[in-house]
Amino acid sequence: MAQRIDVKDLNIYYGDFLAVQDITMTIEPKSVTALIGPSGCGKSTFLRTLNRMHEVIPNARVEGTVEMEGVDLYGSDVDPVAVRRNVGMVFQRPNPFPTMSIRDNVLAGVKLNNKRISKADADDMVESSLHGANLWNEVKDRLEKPGSGLSGGQQQRLCIARAIAVKPQVLLMDEPCSALDPISTIAIEDLIGELKSEYTIVIVTHNMQQAARVSDRTAFFNIAGTGKPGKLIEMDETSTIFSSPSEKSTEDYVSGRFG
Amino acid sequence: MTDSPPRARARATRRRGSDRGFNRVFRWIAVGSGVLILAVLAAVALFLLWQAWPALTAGSDELATAVPRYPEDTSFVAYVGPLVFGTLLAAILALAIATPLAIGIALFISHYAPRRLSQVLGYLVDLLAAVPSVIYGLWGFFVLAPFVVPIWSWLNEYLGWFPLFAGEASPTGRVLATVAIVLAVMILPIITAVSREVFLQTPKLHEEAALALGATRWELVRTAVLPFGRSGIISAAMLGLGRALGETMAVLMILSPGFLYSFHILDSAQHQTIAAYIALDFPEASGLAVNTLIATGLVLFVITLAVNMGARAIVARRKEFSGAN
Amino acid sequence: MSATTAHPPTAESTERVRSMLTAAHPGRKRVDRTMTVLVWGAFALAMVPLISLLWTVTSNGIGRISMDFLTLSMRNIFGGDPTGGIYHAIMGTLIITGLATLISVPIGVLTAIYLVEYGRGALARSVTFFVDVMTGIPSIVAGLFAVALFTLILGPAARFGLIGAVALSVLMIPVVVRSCEEMLKLVPNELREAAYALGVPKWLTIVKVVLRTSVAGLTTGVLLAIARVIGETAPLLVAVGVTDSINTNPFEGRMMTLPVFAYRQYSQGLATCPGGESATCIPDIALQNAWGAALVLIVLVLLLNIIGRLVNRWFSPKLR
C-alpha cells in the first residue's frame, strides 16, 4: 500500500540554526518524487524528516507538520519507531550488516517485528524481496554468504530488498546511486521504475539526468548562501521542471549554469 | 627483478645520506629503548626460570623439608595444582560477574547516557581502576565480607543443590565468592574501557540502517553494535581475566586460604591463589623455599602471558578484518 | 498519470495509517525499556562500590589524620601505642615511586618516539605486541623478577628500595609507552613536514616540534602511570620488605611504603591493652593506622589523576 504525504510549513532546526525553512509540498502515492538542488540546500535533511531519522542528530527538531494520509508523523501519540518501520530508507552508501548473511540481512527488519516467523514464510519473504530488488537470480545460490561479499551495486539492491521486506508505505532514497558505477546505476534506476507501482518513492539525487529519467515530479531546493536556510523553490511535473520551469534559478540549475 | 639490486643500493645510500651525525645517534637511542623493552620481558622470563630451576629439579623430599606447609611425597606439579585451580576459579568467577556488567556500562557510556555527561561518567568508572588494591583488600574485609554473609548463607540454604553453593557457608564471609566480587569490581574498568572504545567505533552507516528498519534503541544495539563489537568484547574480557589472575592483595587480605580442589565457593579454607600464596610466604622464606615460590610465580607468569597473548591476537585479527572492508 | 490525479486522504485511509503509526508493539517496547533500565542499572551498580569504598576510607581514616601521624615514624612503637605515624612510609613511597619514574619515563617516552616516528617492520610490530603483553604482567611477578635480578648481582636476601623501583618500572614502562604513543600520534603530520621543509633535521624536529607540542599530553600520561603504580603493594612486599624506621637511602636497607604499611598494620590486628583502652593504649590502633594510610594513599592517587587530566585539558595546544 502506498500512501500520500502532505508537508505543511515545515522548519528544520539544528539547535538554534534554521537549516531548512518553510517547506510545503505534497508527495503523491505510487509515484517517484525527486528532490534536486545544490549541495547543502537541505534536501537530504528534509528527506530524513520524512521518517524522523534526523532525530539521531542531537538537538535536531522540526516545526510544522508532516502528514501521512492526514496523520501527523510528529503527533504526540505517534511512535518514531513505527514511523521508520512504515517509511523505509535506502542510504547513499550501501550498508548491509557485515556480520549477517545475505538472507539474514533481508530478514533483519522483519525479525525485529515478528520474531517467531516460520522458516517457510521466511524463505518466501527472502525470495520475494530479492525478486523485488532484482537480485534473486544473482544471489539465490549463496544466500548464506555474508552480504559484504557482494559488489557495490548488488549491496545497494540488497539494502533495497531489506527495506521492502518489511512492506513499508513509503521508500526514501538518499542519493542511492552516488557510490555506484554506471551499470549498477542503471539497474537501480530500472528497479525504481518497477517499485513505484507499489510504493511511494522519494529520491534525493545530484544527478539531473537521473531525476529526469526516474521521477514523475521534481522539487528544486536552493540556498541563498552559507548560513542561510535551504528553501523549496518550486515543485512540478518533472517534464515541466526540465523544460519550462517558472523560476529563473531552477532554469539556471537544471541547465547546468550553477550548482 | 633484474634492476632491483641497484635500486635498493640507491635507496640505501639515500637513506644513509639523510641520516648523518646526531640524527643517527638519536635514532639509535630510540631504537635501543624499544629493544630494551623486549630485553626486559625476556629477562623477566629468564630470571624467573633461572631462580625457579632449583625448585623444579629438586626431589619431593628436599622440597618437603625446605618449604613450610609442603605436603609429603608430592611432586611440584601436584603441589602447584590446587593453587592454579584456585587462581583460575577466582578469576573465572570474577570474569563471569564483571563481563555482563561491563558491557552494560560500556553501552551506557557509548549509547545511552546523555552525550555531554558520558565523558565524565567514563572518568568515574576509570576511578575504580585507580584505587590501590590494598584498599580493595581493606574494603573487602571490613565492608563487603560482613555484608554478603547473609546473602551467602541464603544461597547456601536454598540453592545448595547447585555445586558452587554447596558445602557450608562460612560465617565470616572470607570466601572465594567474596573475593570474586572484589576482583570483578577491580577488572570492571578495564573491560569497560576496551568495550566502550569498540562500541563507539560502530559505523554510523550500520546504526542508521538498523534505525531505518524501525529498530528500537535496544534493537539497534543488538543488530548493529554488539555484532560489530563481539571480538572487542572477547579480547576485553581476556584482558580482564589476565588482571584477575595476577591480583594479589585483595585475595591475600580477604580469603581464608586452603589447598583443595573444591567448588565450594561459600566455604572458607578451601582455596588459595598463586599470587596471594607468594605474597603471604615470601617475606619469611629463605633458601629453596624462595626458589619454590618463584617457580609458582613462573607458573602464574606463563598463564597470564598465554591469556594476554590470546587477547592481543584476537584484537590483531579484528584489525585485519576492518582493514579489509 | 498518477501524479496529476489528486488522492485526498479518506477517513478510512487516515484511520488505517493512524493505527499503523501508533501501533504499539508492547513486547518490543517492554524489552527496550527493560534493557534501558538494565543498562542504567549496570552503571549505578558500578558506582556502589566506588562510593562505598571512598566513604569507608574517608570516614575510617579521617580520625587518625593529624600532624603527628604525618610526621612521625613507627620506630619503637609497640602494641596499642597511638603515637606512631606514617612519615617513613610516605618518604619510602615518594622515593621508590620517584626512582621508578626516573627509570621508566626516559625508556617509555623514547620507545613511544621510536614506535611513532621510526617504527617500521617486524621490530616495531613485536615491540608493540610485547608492550601490550607486558601490560598484563601480574605485579607480584614483577616483584619476583626484580628480586631474582638482584639476587644474581648481590646474592640472596638483598632488600632495598631500588629493587622495588625496578619492579615498579616493569609495571610502569608499558603504561608510559601506551599513553605517550597515543599523545605523539595526535601531533599532526603537517607540523613535522613544515619543520622538514625548513631544513630542520629529524631529531631536532622531534625534540623541538613533536615533543614540544605534546608535552602536556606526555605529562598527563606520566602522571597517570605514577598513579597506577603508587598503590602497588605486592611487588614492594616481596622486593623491599618492611621496616618501622625512616630510611631515605634507596640503595641500602629495607624501606616502608604506604600500601605495604596499610597491609602490615591490617595484618597485625588488635593489640592487647592490659589496663583496657586508655590514652596510651588503643586496641584497634593498627587498624586505624591502616585506614589512615589508606586515606593518604587514595588522596595521593586521586590528586595525581585529577592533576593529570587538568594538565592535559589546560595546557595542551588546540590541535584541530
pLDDT band at C193 (very low <50, low <70, confident <90, very high): confident
Give the per-residue pLDDT at B216.
84
By DSSP bridging, strand A217-223 and strand A230-237 are antiparallel
User: Is the pLDDT higher at A240 or at B322?
Assistant: A240
d(CA B298, CA A24): 75
Taking CA atoms, what residue in A is nearest to B229? A99
The residues, any chain, with a CB within 8 Å of residue C264's CB and separated by 6 or more, are C242, C256
Flag whether pLDDT at C277 surpasses 50. yes
Is B68's Cβ below 8 Å from some Cβ in C? no
A128 — phi, psi (to 5°)?
A: -70, -35
Helix, strand or coil for residue A201? strand
Inter-residue contact A37 to A63 (CB < 8 Å): no
pLDDT at residue B2 is higher than 50: no
As a whole number, mean pLDDT of residues A197-215 equals 88
Helix (H) or strand (E) holding C196: helix C189-197
pLDDT confidence of B1, banded at 50, 70, 90?
very low
Three cell numbers written together for B274: 598463586
The alpha carbon of residue C70 is apart from the nearest alpha carbon of chain B, in Å, by: 19
| Integer Rg of chain C from CA | 29
C5/B59: higher pLDDT: B59
CB distance C248 to C95 below 8 Å: yes
- DSSP letter at C278 equals B
Identify which has the larger pLDDT, C99 or C203.
Answer: C99
Domains in chain A and their CATH numbers? 5-254 (3.40.50.300)
- Dihedral sign, Cα of residue C61, residue C67, residue C71, residue C76: negative
The CATH code that applies to domain C66-72+83-315 is 1.10.3720.10
* Spatial contact of C287 and C266, defined as CB atoms under 8 Å apart: yes
The residue in chain C having the minimum alpha-carbon distance to the alpha carbon of residue A28 is C3
Indicate the pLDDT class of residue C319, thresholds 50, 70 and 90.
low
Higher-confidence residue of C314 and A243: namely A243
Burial of C193 (0-12, 13-18, 19+ CB in 10 A): exposed
pLDDT digits (tens, 9 = 90+) for B10-28: 444 444 445 567 778 888 8
- pLDDT at position C38 over 90: yes
> How many angstroms separate the first and last alpha carbons of chain C?
53
Instruction: Looking at mean pLDDT, say which of C93-102, C124-133, C158-167 comes out highest.
Output: C93-102
pLDDT tens column, A32-58 = 999 988 888 888 889 988 888 888 887
Count of other CB atoms within 10 angstroms of residue C10: 11
Instruction: Work out the number of other CB atoms within 10 angstroms of the CB of residue C246.
Output: 17
Q: What is the pTM of this model?
A: 0.84
Contact (Cβ atoms closer than 8 angstroms) between residue A96 and residue A158: yes
**Position C318 confidence tier, pLDDT thresholds 50, 70, 90:** low
Q: What is the pLDDT of residues C194-239, one digit of tens each?
A: 888 887 878 888 888 888 888 888 888 888 888 888 888 888 888 8
How many CB atoms are closer than 10 A to CB C100? 27
Please choose, from the candidates B119, B99, B101, the residue with its C-alpha nearest in 3D space to the C-alpha of residue B110.
B119
Q: Quick check: A86 contacting C, CB < 8 Å?
A: yes
* Type of residue numbered B101: L
Decide if pLDDT at A231 tops 60.
Answer: yes
Q: How confident is the model at residue C101 (pLDDT cuts 50, 70, 90)?
A: very high
Torsion angle, alpha carbons of C113, C115, C118, C121, to 10 = 170
How many CB atoms are closer than 10 A to CB B54? 18
Q: List chains touching A (3+ CB pairs under 8 A).
A: B, C
Distance from CA of A53 to the nearest CA of C (A): 15
| Higher-scoring residue by pLDDT: C282, C162 | C162
Domains in chain B, CATH or no CATH each:
4-52 (no CATH), 58-324 (1.10.3720.10)
In chain B, the DSSP E strands lie at none
Burial class (CB in 10 A: 0-12, 13-18, 19+), B273: buried
Q: Is the pLDDT of residue B319 over 60?
A: no
CA distance C71 to B258: 40
User: Does the structure show a pLDDT above 50 at B322?
Assistant: no
**Contact between B206 and A95 using a beta-carbon 8 Å cutoff:** yes
Helix (H, G, I), strand (E, B) or coil at A89: strand
C-alpha to C-alpha distance for A33 and A189, rounded to whole angstroms: 13
Nearest one of A145, A149, A105 to B324, comparing CA atoms = A149
Q: What is the distance between the alpha carbons of residues C118 and A98, in angstroms, rounded to a whole number?
A: 35
Cβ contact (<8 Å) for A159 and B209? yes
Predicted local confidence at residue B20, as pLDDT: 66
Nearest by Cα to C293 from C96, C90, C59: C90
B263-273 mean pLDDT? 80
**pLDDT tens sequence across B150-162:** 888 888 888 878 8
Q: Name residue, grid cell 602511570.
A: C225
Q: Look up cell 518550486; give the residue.
A: A234
- Least CA distance to B208: which residue of chain A? A53
Instruction: Characterize B215-224 residue by residue with b for buried, 16 or more Cβ atoms within 10 angstroms of its Cβ, and e for exposed.
Output: bbbbbbbbbb
Cβ within 8 Å of A, C 26-55: 28
Task: Tell me the H-state helices in C23-86.
Answer: 26-61, 67-71
ipTM score here? 0.84
